[in-house]
């Protein structure tokens, strides 16, 4: 459906990870201005919109598979040390919105087992705990994510600048993708931040909540 003139443009990414007895299952997608742009199903990632030429996309697919494989191996490693028999659900939702008046809004939200866990405060480049009550693993994850520039300043730049720059050339009326889209940089940065998040969260996801 054509977008309303008053509706914001949006670029969003969603990654869902289910961990059970040391095995990780992945689902996800990305959308650009209301159009599905990427799909993730286990280790298979596909580009629905032609944001990158075939050779560049082939390299991007390899990066995605490497990231997911590393995450899966990390989960298996910690499960061998401290096995857990219950299922863990990790959900990462992030992106940006560009409003008709030129203002932008960015977000990065993480839920653990369907409960708000962490969020990224974009203006200050800081991670904030959202878990209701005290939880050592939430404090641990926040501490780990605040250590690295890729999950603070780099992520802030991506959400405030790079993400918004994708939306600026888009037509809210037609929803067509402009040739000026900066998909390679966007996907590279977002995969890096997700990889770091996966490392930090994976450390305790598979240790039964110990840190």
Tokens at residue 31, please? 């959308």
Question: Which stretches within the chain are classed as H helix?
Answer: 54-81, 136-145, 153-157, 163-167, 183-205
CA atoms within 13 A on the CB side of 99: 5
Question: Which stretches within 83-182 are classed as H helix?
Answer: 136-145, 153-157, 163-167
Tokens at residue 113, please? 């087992």
The domain segmentation of the chain, as residue ranges, is 9-174
Q: What is the pTM (predicted TM-score) of this model?
A: 0.79
- CATH number for region 9-174: 3.30.500.10
Residue by residue, pLDDT tens for the chain (211 residues) are: 455 556 788 988 888 889 888 888 999 998 988 889 889 999 998 889 887 788 878 887 887 888 788 778 877 877 777 777 788 888 889 899 999 888 999 999 988 889 998 999 999 999 999 988 877 778 888 887 888 887 888 888 888 887 887 777 764 444 445 544 555 555 655 655 665 566 566 555 545 555 4
CB-count exposure of residue 48 (10 Å: 0-12, 13-18, 19+):
middle
Q: How many angstroms separate the CA atoms of 75 and 67, rounded?
A: 12
Q: Give the CA radius of gyration of the chain.
A: 17
**What is the model's pLDDT at position 60?**
77
**What is the model's pLDDT at position 122?**
94
- What CA–CA distances, in Å, run from 148 to 142, 152, 155, 196? 11, 6, 10, 9
Spatial neighbors of 139 by CB under 8 A, at least 6 apart, are 129
Burial 87-121 (b: 16+ CB within 10 A, else e): ebbbbbbbbbbbeeeeebebebebbbeeeebbbbe
Spatial neighbors of 194 by CB under 8 A, at least 6 apart, are 15, 67, 92
């Amino acid at each position: 459906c054509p977008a309303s003139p008053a509706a914001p443009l949006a670029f969003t990414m969603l990654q869902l990870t289910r961990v059970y007895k040391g095995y990780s299952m992945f689902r996800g997608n990305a959308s650009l201005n209301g159009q599905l742009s990427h799909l993730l199903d286990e280790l298979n990632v596909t580009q629905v919109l032609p944001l990158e030429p075939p050779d560049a996309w082939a390299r991007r697919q390899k990066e995605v598979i490497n990231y997911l494989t590393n995450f899966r191996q990390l989960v298996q490693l910690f499960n061998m040390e401290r096995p857990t028999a219950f299922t863990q659900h990790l959900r990462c939702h992030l992106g940006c919105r560009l409003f008709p008046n030129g203002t932008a809004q960015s977000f990065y939200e993480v839920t653990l087992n369907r409960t708000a866990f962490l969020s990224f405060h974009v203006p200050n480049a800081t991670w904030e705990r959202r878990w209701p009550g005290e939880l050592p693993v939430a404090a641990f994850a926040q501490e780990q994510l605040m250590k690295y520039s890729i999950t603070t300043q780099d992520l802030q730049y991506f959400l405030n600048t790079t993400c918004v720059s994708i939306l600026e050339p888009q037509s809210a009326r037609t929803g067509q993708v402009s040739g000026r889209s900066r998909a390679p940089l966007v996907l590279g940065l977002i995969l890096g931040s997700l990889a770091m998040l996966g490392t930090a969260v994976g450390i305790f996801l598979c240790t039964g909540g110990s840190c």
